[in-house]
Amino acid sequence: MTVLKRPVIVVNFKTYIEASGPKAIALAKTCESVAGDTGVPIAVAPPMADLASVAQAVKIPVLSQHMDDVKPGSTTGHIPLESVVGCGAVGTLLNHSERRMRIADIGSLVGRCKESGLSTIICTNDIGVTRACASLEPDFVAIEPPELIGGDVSVTTANPAIVKDSVDVARKVCPNVGVLCGAGVKNGVDVAKAAELGTDGVLLASGVAKASDQRKVLLDLASGLGK
Amino acid sequence: MTVLKRPVIVVNFKTYIEASGPKAIALAKTCESVAGDTGVPIAVAPPMADLASVAQAVKIPVLSQHMDDVKPGSTTGHIPLESVVGCGAVGTLLNHSERRMRIADIGSLVGRCKESGLSTIICTNDIGVTRACASLEPDFVAIEPPELIGGDVSVTTANPAIVKDSVDVARKVCPNVGVLCGAGVKNGVDVAKAAELGTDGVLLASGVAKASDQRKVLLDLASGLGK
Amino acid sequence: MTVLKRPVIVVNFKTYIEASGPKAIALAKTCESVAGDTGVPIAVAPPMADLASVAQAVKIPVLSQHMDDVKPGSTTGHIPLESVVGCGAVGTLLNHSERRMRIADIGSLVGRCKESGLSTIICTNDIGVTRACASLEPDFVAIEPPELIGGDVSVTTANPAIVKDSVDVARKVCPNVGVLCGAGVKNGVDVAKAAELGTDGVLLASGVAKASDQRKVLLDLASGLGK
Amino acid sequence: MTVLKRPVIVVNFKTYIEASGPKAIALAKTCESVAGDTGVPIAVAPPMADLASVAQAVKIPVLSQHMDDVKPGSTTGHIPLESVVGCGAVGTLLNHSERRMRIADIGSLVGRCKESGLSTIICTNDIGVTRACASLEPDFVAIEPPELIGGDVSVTTANPAIVKDSVDVARKVCPNVGVLCGAGVKNGVDVAKAAELGTDGVLLASGVAKASDQRKVLLDLASGLGK
């Protein structure tokens, strides 16, 4: 059973300087504050080096950005599951577009995370890979339809089928899988639209991390899931 | 100018469970205490996820176990230099035997670390690679002669030439490079012997991290460099 | 439409010296001869460096052992799809246990191979990964149940459910997918048993490549699929 | 002792479609013909899949574009040294900018190639890496000064120090190492200039592979080294 509620807003800090070191803790606290004020669940994925310090600083769910399918011990410079657990994180992103993973490792880690009670969010890039990853039965897949990446097209303005088809494909092979919209989300209207199309929330990064007023952006995003 | 003094004892926590999460902070504090009590410089390299929390917890030098040659920002799940700096670490291991690196990345990172005032320790596995890595002019190379890895042979009992030749090779291409003995060191006698053979200290891991009495082992090791 | 018939025996030459260079061509010709004599389809996957020369030497299907998801041109040292096509091969193994691949690359390559008329065989290691890979709709999955790898247990002596469950899982998400038994097959009896359990043939390596009498082993294997 | 004469023109076919499959053999034969007509040594590095077929087709030196530091046998999809030897190639490029390698693997392979009588050409990208790689004592380093890559600047028009400094650095740590100019060479004048600056020849790719008249370009290049 995943510790991540649905719907949820997952904020990936990537390795932005604006979200690293002391600023990682500050942003995590802002997320925690907005989650508390709005009642909308927010989870954070800080830079790898800040994982333990952020996990100690806040009570909202903290996720690793990556995990290596290795054992603890003689694996210098890697991120084993035990390291993620040991520092107080409750789950992990897997296969982010900036850190693609081998299918054998993803499959192994989803199984190991389940046994350890860690939540898994597998990032996917097209319908076929979404279907394949959902069939591994993670807690979530975070879909990033190519049509929505990096441009001005948002989930609100795009053809609704782009998101809806991914949701359908994922749920068909794994009825209980959560689906996050991982691209094309910039504001509360987009978040609401993503939810309307059947997703369980959003995964976003620069929109929050690089905002001049991070709190304001988070409040707007949360309004899209507000009751 | 490196912030690491010479000689120095560098403790690599690897990803041992006994040196992860709260236990990473505990071990780092033990190292700090022994360094304070004995006057022998000790630096620590905790698991990646614990880097910031350990760097906040102690005043002795904290090193990253690895660094990726990437820019900060859109590099989810990686360890850019800026992330290491941002969380308060002062240097990094590079090319550890459990995390071998591409020569182009090592070369680039040594240069970038110099500009940022971070110390670099490149791990090497034989005479040729030691020579190559020393020629990149890092602060330290940590030599791991194959003859000394994983067996009962220690630097004290082995043919002295095994260590001495590596030191000579490294210093010939880079007169100022520090040389750490990265294998065959288990106690204070070995540390003293390593120093006698011309090294500037030692890099070790399980001998400390997995010890039933970590403090006792550290005190013994420090005695090998004691005045 | 795949050019590989069903059932089929796929012989992976790996990089065995006994199946490299001129010996790769010799073994491919033996496979061709046995296929001709018995009427049982046999395909071969020679070492990467021998791909073109083997493809020129025989008329049976020749497969690449691997493919990189890169474009032709500035990809020195890689194996783009165009290189495989250009030298006359008709398909490729993907995700072999000795060359695991990222899910995004496998997904992309299955699609590109379909467009180019190349057959794809994705190797898988457990039920979950088999399901995930079959959902990408390759021509074949080659299942390697961990219980059957590297020991004395063959598909004939093992619990039949080990193979049958994989076949069922694969066919459920992709009804037309071919399924090869990739482990636990040493002789014609095993091949017949694998077919009886619902597979479309076998993928094997050392049993043929390292045999003192390669032709004799091939004839025995083929007898398992003989009419 | 390397089988590559000095000076030499090394043509990297990369994975250009214009130099793959039957066209790889055709281009290799053109290189062989020009080498014969002009007396200027030319070596070729065809796409991996074409290595054996090209090595069989011509008598000039054929090089692998890459080599993996693995053993022959259970290394499906890799390029072990034995595979390169087995198909008749006489050497290899290592660490090409499109296929960067780990220093430990380069070091190991240079040693193994020496034992097997294979020539090694390590590609390098800056002064530091050139120095490091030359210290491994390969047969050649192929320097690619960043200033000369991908633009209109050629070795003839650039500041002579850019090439000369690399040559000096390499020769200082390894007096007998051959040095190839790996960037900024487009015609015979550039080849002559590169030789004048102390190199032992050139490594080039698209200028030949993508030329509308490959023979004409090769003749022009060879004229730069002609007697």
The interface predicted TM-score (ipTM) is 0.95
Q: What is the pLDDT of residues C103-128, one digit of tens each?
A: 999 999 999 999 999 999 999 989 99
Does a structural domain hold residue D73? yes
**Which residue reads 């995990």 in tokens?**
A67
Q: Global pTM? A: 0.96
Does a structural domain hold residue D135? yes
Average pLDDT (C63-76) is 97
CB contact under 8 A, B107 and D129: yes
The confidence score (pLDDT) of residue B80 equals 98
Q: Which has more pLDDT, A227 or C72?
A: C72
Q: Which of B131, B135, B177 to mutate to test the interface with D (most CBs of D within 10 A)?
A: B135
Q: Where residue B227 falls among pLDDT bands split at 50, 70, 90?
A: low
- Letter for the amino acid at B197? L
Q: Is the pLDDT of residue C151 over 80?
A: no
Q: Where residue B155 falls among pLDDT bands split at 50, 70, 90?
A: confident
The confidence score (pLDDT) of residue A156 equals 83
Q: Which has more pLDDT, A81 or D147?
A: A81
pLDDT averaged over chain B?
A: 94
Chain C contact for A103, CB < 8 A?
Answer: yes
Chain C contact for D89, CB < 8 A?
Answer: yes
- Any chains having at least 3 CB pairs less than 8 A from chain D are B, C
Does a structural domain hold residue B54? yes
Q: Is the pLDDT of residue C175 over 90?
A: yes
Alpha carbons C129 and A108: distance in angstroms, whole number: 9
Q: Is C130 exposed, middle or buried (0-12, 13-18, 19+ CB in 10 A)?
A: buried
Alpha carbons B21 and B19: distance in angstroms, whole number: 7
The confidence score (pLDDT) of residue C154 equals 87
Q: Is D223 exposed, middle or buried (0-12, 13-18, 19+ CB in 10 A)?
A: middle
Average pLDDT (D188-204) is 95
**Hey, how many other C-beta atoms are within 10 angstroms of the C-beta on C57?**
18
What φ, ψ does residue D60 adopt, rounded to 5°? -75, 160
Q: Where residue B205 falls among pLDDT bands split at 50, 70, 90?
A: very high
Q: What is the pLDDT of residues D104-136, one digit of tens each?
A: 999 999 999 999 999 999 999 899 999 999 999
| CB-based contact A182:A142 (threshold 8 Å) | yes
Alpha carbons B165 and B154: distance in angstroms, whole number: 16
Alpha carbons C120 and C127: distance in angstroms, whole number: 19
The verdict on whether C66 is a catalytic residue reads no
Q: Is the pLDDT of residue A1 over 50?
A: no
Sign of the dihedral through C-alpha D188, D190, D191, D193: positive
Does a structural domain hold residue B2? no
User: Which parts of B18-160 fold into alpha helices (H)?
Assistant: 22-38, 51-57, 81-86, 103-116, 127-134
Q: Is the pLDDT of residue C1 over 60?
A: no
- CATH number of the domain at D65, please: 3.20.20.70
Q: Which of A119-123, A160-164, B123-127, D2-6 has the highest mean pLDDT?
A: A119-123
Q: Which of A103, A122, A126, A177 to mutate to test the interface with C (most CBs of C within 10 A)?
A: A103
Number of domains forming the structure of chain A: 1
Q: Is the pLDDT of residue C92 over 90?
A: yes
Nearest to C51 by CA among C139, C137, C118: C118
Q: Is the pLDDT of residue D1 over 50?
A: no
Q: Is the pLDDT of residue A3 over 80?
A: no
Chain B contact for D128, CB < 8 A?
Answer: yes
**E strand segments, B108-208:** 119-124, 140-143, 178-181, 201-204
The confidence score (pLDDT) of residue D148 equals 81
Chain B contact for D202, CB < 8 A?
Answer: no
| Closest Cβ opposite residue A52 in set B21, B45, B80 | B21
Does a structural domain hold residue D3? no
Does a structural domain hold residue C2? no
Does a structural domain hold residue D58? yes
Q: Is the pLDDT of residue A84 over 60?
A: yes
Reduced to 3 states, what is the DSSP secondary structure of residue D55? helix
The verdict on whether B98 is a catalytic residue reads no
How much of chain B exceeds pLDDT 70, in percent? 98
* C-alpha distances in Å from residue A199, one per residue of A152, A206, D148, D171: 20, 20, 50, 62
**Residues of A recognised as catalytic:** 96, 144
Q: Reduced to 3 DSSP states, what percent helix, strand and coil does chain A have, rounded to the nearest 5?
A: 45, 15, 40
Q: Where residue B153 falls among pLDDT bands split at 50, 70, 90?
A: confident
pLDDT averaged over chain A?
A: 94
Does a structural domain hold residue A3? no
Average pLDDT (A46-70) is 98
CB contact under 8 A, B132 and D137: no
Smallest CA–CA distance from C99 into chain A, residue: A102
Q: Look up the domain containing A26 and give its range.
A: 8-223
